[in-house]
Amino acid sequence: MESLLSPILADLIQDLECSIFETLIIHVPFYYRYVNDIIIAIPNEHINIILCSFNSYHERIKFMVEYGDNGIINFLDVKLLIENGRIIFDNYRKLTNSGRYLNYFSNHPVEHKRGIVIGSWIEFYSFPI
């Protein structure tokens, strides 16, 4: 979403969210959106109902569903795992990740170097579903 229309589309999706969630009678434990990426936790039997609601908003806006494998789904740079009725948040790295970091003596700003150190010390966070 690197277009000049991105802010307008993000506002459109926000309007879509408001109108759909006003009509839903299904309890949604959590719903998060970052620009055009959405993660939502709902019971399996209600997935098609929600998907049809989102896709019926406008004929040119279509959503798709990605299911997690073995209780794991990746959202942005976060891996969500379901264990013992809790959602655990972990750092997600692609299979192509080399594990290399910035050399401290490189010419990058010190804020970038600190951010890499802080970002690499991710702890497990969890909360009940």
How many CA atoms lie within 13 Å of 68's alpha carbon, on the beta-carbon side?
A: 18
Rounded Cα distance, 28 and 43, in Å: 9
Residue 124 has pLDDT above 80, yes or no: no
Domain positions in the chain: 1-65, 69-129
| 66-113 pLDDT, tens digit each | 887 788 888 888 888 888 878 888 877 777 777 777 788 889 998 888
pLDDT greater at residue 127 or residue 22:
22
Q: How far is CA 92 from CA 20, 32, 44, 84, 119, in A?
A: 30, 17, 24, 20, 12
Handedness of CA 48, 86, 32, 90 (dihedral sign): negative
pLDDT 10s digits, 2-58:
677 777 777 888 888 888 888 888 888 888 888 778 888 888 888 888 888 888 888
**What tokens were used for 46?**
């209600």
Residue 123 pLDDT exceeds 60: no
Q: Supply 42's token pair.
A: 């709902």
Query: Dihedral sign, CA of 92, 98, 103, 107?
Result: negative
Q: What pLDDT is attached to residue 128?
A: 57
